[in-house]
């Protein structure tokens, strides 16, 4: 029997549907400052690329909505309360029997991370195309999709493709981050899934080197931009960590510098922060270059916080830095 959607739509939400929708899996995050094999203490939080991008955009002022399944284990209340506490619309979250995924993450020298996942068969991975509401998608302005969501199950991959098709049919922009994770699948599987959705994508958001190696076997962001622009993707924004981003739009190729504030460095969710800031800028009338600069500031400020959620910046701080940098 298909699970029932638990309605949580407020009066304000009826009047204003979310501007960005995202589909995927939010995991319990257990974070350690030490290598996982040496750690004695882990701090509980939550994370997932499809969720992180919503937090980044929501904290900047864009309304967002999450489409996922929620397991009925003891973590369910914590997850749901956190989503709603961020202001994310949860009217299309389905609560089902099962467990919510968990991942362990630790910080390595230089700010990189080590992950261990326990997610196979999780409740969110059972999402299926029938969970999608075409009217909900049609009321948004951007439908965001992720390669990680495609990777977690066959039905999740089918759901991502169906969402892209619905959005395109209703004239809604589609953003897509391939976000390749070698722990989840092979290069060939990831490329095949990416190729399914590329015809529907308006904003393509890969990174160097993980995504670029999976897609084209290159570390050159300019090659990535040229390839996907030649295939008709309207906007390509390739992030490359501390080296900023390379953008392709119309007949332009634009480079945007990274913003690197002082302080502790943890790259967890920095790419998601960039994407959330970038899409917020697009939705608020910025051109592609300025939206990328906003994304860069959002990502740079996120670097200061440990884990995915901690340190994700709010609107006032982001725009204070963004305006200051524009005057330099």
Query: What distance in Å separates the CA atoms of residue 69 and residue 92, rounded to the nearest whole number?
Result: 9
CATH code, 182: 3.40.1190.20
In a domain, 297, yes or no: yes
Percent of the chain with pLDDT over 90: 82
Strand partners, 155: none
12-26: pLDDT as tens digits: 433 479 999 999 999
User: Domain residues for 132?
Assistant: 11-319
Contact status, residue 260 vs residue 242, Cβ threshold 8 Å: yes
190-205: pLDDT as tens digits: 999 999 999 999 999 9
In a domain, 92, yes or no: yes
What DSSP line would sit under 27-80, residue for residue? EEEEEESS-GGG-S--EEEEE-HHHHHHHHHHHHT--EEEEEEEE-STTHHHHH
In a domain, 208, yes or no: yes
What DSSP line would sit under 243-311, residue for residue? G-EEEEETTEEEEEPPP--SS----TTHHHHHHHHHHHHHHTT--HHHHHHHHHHHHHHHTTSSSSSTT
In a domain, 37, yes or no: yes
Q: What is the mean pLDDT of the chain?
A: 92
3-state secondary structure 177-245: ECCCCCCCCCHHHHHHHHHHHHHHCCEECCECCHHHHHHHCCCCHHHHHHHHHHCCCCEEEEECHHHCE
pTM attached to this predicted model: 0.92
In a domain, 41, yes or no: yes
Confidence of residue 110 (pLDDT cuts 50, 70, 90): low
Query: What distance in Å separates the CA atoms of residue 142 and residue 297, rounded to the nearest whole number?
Result: 21
pLDDT over 60 at 3, yes or no: no
In a domain, 4, yes or no: no
295-316: pLDDT as tens digits: 999 999 999 887 788 889 999 9
Confidence of residue 7 (pLDDT cuts 50, 70, 90): very low
272 is catalytic: yes
The whole-number average pLDDT for the span 149-177 is 98
Strand partners, 27: 47
Confidence of residue 137 (pLDDT cuts 50, 70, 90): very high
Confidence of residue 9 (pLDDT cuts 50, 70, 90): very low
In a domain, 275, yes or no: yes
| Residue whose tokens read 């440990």 | 306
pLDDT over 60 at 59, yes or no: yes
In a domain, 3, yes or no: no
Closest CA to 191 of 242, 163, 137, 150: 150
Question: Looking at the 3D structure of the chain, how many domains does it have?
Answer: 1
Cα dihedral sign for 63, 4, 143, 295? positive
Hey, what's the torsion of the CAs at 66, 72, 77, 83, to 10 degrees? -10
Closest CA to 119 of 67, 188, 49: 49
Identify the active-site residue in 89, 131, 211, 272. 272
The whole-number average pLDDT for the span 274-301 is 98
């Amino acid at each position: 029997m298909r699970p029932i959607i638990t309605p949580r739509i407020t009066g304000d939400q009826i009047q204003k549907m979310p501007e960005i929708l995202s589909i995927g899996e939010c995991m319990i995050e257990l974070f350690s400052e030490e290598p996982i094999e040496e750690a004695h203490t882990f701090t509980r939080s939550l994370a997932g690329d499809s969720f992180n991008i919503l937090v980044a955009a929501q904290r900047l002022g864009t309304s967002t909505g999450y489409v996922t399944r929620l397991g009925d284990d003891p973590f369910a209340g914590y997850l749901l309360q956190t989503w709603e506490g961020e202001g994310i619309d949860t009217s299309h979250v389905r609560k089902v029997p099962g467990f919510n995924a968990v991942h362990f993450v630790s910080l390595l020298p230089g700010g990189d991370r080590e992950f261990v996942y326990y997610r196979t068969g999780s409740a969110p991975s059972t999402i299926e195309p029938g969970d999608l509401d075409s009217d909900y998608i049609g009321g948004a302005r951007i439908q965001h999709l992720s390669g990680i969501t495609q990777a977690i199950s066959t039905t999740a991959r089918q759901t991502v493709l169906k969402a892209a098709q619905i959005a395109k049919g209703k004239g809604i922009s589609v953003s897509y981050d391939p976000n390749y994770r070698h722990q989840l699948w092979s290069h060939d599987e990831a490329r095949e899934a990416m190729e399914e959705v590329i015809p529907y994508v308006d904003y393509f958001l890969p990174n160097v080197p993980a995504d670029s190696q999976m897609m084209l076997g290159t570390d050159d962001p300019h090659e990535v931009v040229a390839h996907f622009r030649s295939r008709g993707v309207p906007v390509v924004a390739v992030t490359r960590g501390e080296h900023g981003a390379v953008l392709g739009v119309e007949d332009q190729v634009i480079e945007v510098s990274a913003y690197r504030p002082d302080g502790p460095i943890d790259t967890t969710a920095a790419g998601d922060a960039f994407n959330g800031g970038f899409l917020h800028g697009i939705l608020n009338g910025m051109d592609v270059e300025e939206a990328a600069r906003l994304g860069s500031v959002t990502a740079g400020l996120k670097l200061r916080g440990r884990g995915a959620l901690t340190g994700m910046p709010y609107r006032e701080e982001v725009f204070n830095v963004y305006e200051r940098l524009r005057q330099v």
